[in-house]
Structure 1
Amino acid sequence: MSDTTAEIVLFDGFDELDAIGPFEVLENAAEAGGDLETRLVTLEGDTDEDGLVTASHGLRVEPEGTLGRPDLLIVPGGGWTTPGGVRAVVEDGALPDAVGECYENGATVASVCTGAMILSHAGLLEGRPAATHHVAVDDLEAAAATVVDERVVDDGDVLSAGGVTSGIDLALWLVEREFGEEIASDVSELMVHERRGAVFTSSSD
């Protein structure tokens, strides 16, 4: 894949590491030679009066723009058993609809942690293998996904990662898949991140 545009979509209550971990991996991959541009984005109208989005632990982030038509879309998690975060986003419906539209336009879509519930409500996980945080496993199974107890699950054009830190593993796997082992290894070494274990793929079962 060349000239790849990656977007990480933010919303109030997103988990900081779910988004910033993959962002740093992808930015480092670009510096290491990957033909990749990464942006933090939000839906139009989803920032406060200062143009910021507030994450689950209070970090305030200024998105670089609104969700476009990326080649790769990463959806963080953050909250499912609480009223805000992913729970509020799913109940609102706008972000799941936008994620589904990106997928229909040809984007590869990946989730981190409870972001899988957004993908599920976008209609992307029915009958497909997926990972999520343990607090959302029962709900994801109820939505007809096949939950896999792995850090990273690759089902081709839809990927998912199980917990907060696994977003880094997910991003490193995407770098390896799209730009090669050498660039992924360079990024892993730079970030002093012990490489993840085997990735569950559709051919793994």
Structure 2
Amino acid sequence: MDDMTAEIVLFDGFDELDAIGPYEVLENGAQAGAAIETQLVILEETPLVTASHGLRVEPDGVLGDPDLLVVPGGGWTTEGGVRAAVEDGRLPEAVAARHADGATVASVCTGAMILADAGLLEGRPATSHQVAIDDLEAAAGSVIDDRVVDDGDVLTAGGVTAGIDLALWLLEREFGGDIAAAVETEMEHERRGTVFG
């Protein structure tokens, strides 16, 4: 197989750590020997994206056709962020289209609500940040109280720092435990909770 391509899709109001945590894990995975290339992308060409805490990020480009698409959360209980992305509809449509084309799709935190709106969580186990659990249950039906939920081609993770654990699990699943362990050591991070799947 060629190098795995991973894209983390940004939108105004995304939570910084939801995106940057997995990005750093996957980049460290590449340095540890994983055949993966990770980019931060946006739906439409734009010079900067502003995150929920004010961080401004210059995306690498527009959403392509990645093997792995990571959707961060941020802003479900406030204006902007995930709530605005769901109301706008274009991001859920793009996520559904990439999944239909064979991409593995993963969400962090309230990004699960974008996956739910895209129709990817019906009949599947899923998790999200605690502030969105009731809404997720109403939209998807099967909420699992685990830090990372792996249902094969669709994965979800709990709130904020769970994105680091999600990315470590993806490294382990795709490239082996040695690479994931090396990244854990490099980042001085200790995974907690469980992976359901």
- In structure 2, the gaps of 5 or more residues are none
Q: Shift of residue 145 of structure 1?
A: 3.1
Amino acid aligned to 1:26: L
> Take 1:114 and 1:8, find their aligned partners in 2: how far apart are those partners?
14
Structure 1 partner of 2:178: 182
Q: Shift of residue 65 of structure 1?
A: 0.2
Q: Trace 1:92-131 onto structure 2 (pairs within 5 A).
A: 92-131=88-127
Structure 2 partner of 1:4: 4
Please tell me whether residue 144 in structure 1 is matched to residue 120 in structure 2. no
Amino acid aligned to 1:184: A
- Answer yes or no: is the 8 Å Cα contact 2:146–2:193 preserved in 1: no
Match of 1:111, SS state, is strand
> Take 2:36 and 2:2, find their aligned partners in 1: how far apart are those partners?
7
> Take 2:140 and 2:159, find their aligned partners in 1: how far apart are those partners?
20
Structure 1 partner of 2:14: 14
> Take 1:77 and 1:107, find their aligned partners in 2: how far apart are those partners?
19
Match of 2:30, SS state, is helix
Q: Shift of residue 195 of structure 1?
A: 2.5
Amino acid aligned to 2:173: R
Q: Shift of residue 196 of structure 1?
A: 2.9
Q: Shift of residue 3 of structure 1?
A: 1.0
Amino acid aligned to 1:144: A
Q: Shift of residue 127 of structure 1?
A: 1.0
Match of 1:125, SS state, is coil
Residue 123 to residue 94, structure 1, CA distance change in 2 (3 Å): same
Q: Deviations over 1:99-143 (max 9, x none)?
A: 000000100000000000000000000111001011111111111
| Higher alpha-carbon deviation: 95-104 or 135-144 | 135-144
Runs of 4+ in 1 over 3 A off after TM superposition: none
> Take 2:139 and 2:2, find their aligned partners in 1: how far apart are those partners?
34
| Higher alpha-carbon deviation: 133-142 or 172-181 | 133-142
Match of 2:172, SS state, is helix
Structure 2 partner of 1:82: 78
> Take 1:36 and 1:23, find their aligned partners in 2: how far apart are those partners?
11
- In structure 1, the gaps of 5 or more residues are none
Structure 2 partner of 1:161: 157
Structure with greater proportional helix content: 2
What is the aligned-residue identity percentage? 75
Q: TM-score, normalised by structure 2?
A: 0.98
Q: Shift of residue 199 of structure 1?
A: 0.7
> Take 1:99 and 1:14, find their aligned partners in 2: how far apart are those partners?
16
> Take 2:195 and 2:100, find their aligned partners in 1: how far apart are those partners?
25
Q: Deviations over 1:45-103 (max 9, x none)?
A: 4x3xxx10000000000000000000000000001111110000000000000000000
Q: TM-score, normalised by structure 1?
A: 0.94
> Take 1:23 and 1:16, find their aligned partners in 2: how far apart are those partners?
11
Structure 1 partner of 2:65: 69
Structure 2 partner of 1:25: 25
> Take 1:81 and 1:129, find their aligned partners in 2: how far apart are those partners?
22
Q: Shift of residue 164 of structure 1?
A: 0.4
Q: Shift of residue 2 of structure 1?
A: 4.4
What value does the CA root-mean-square deviation take over the aligned residues?
0.9
Match of 2:140, SS state, is coil
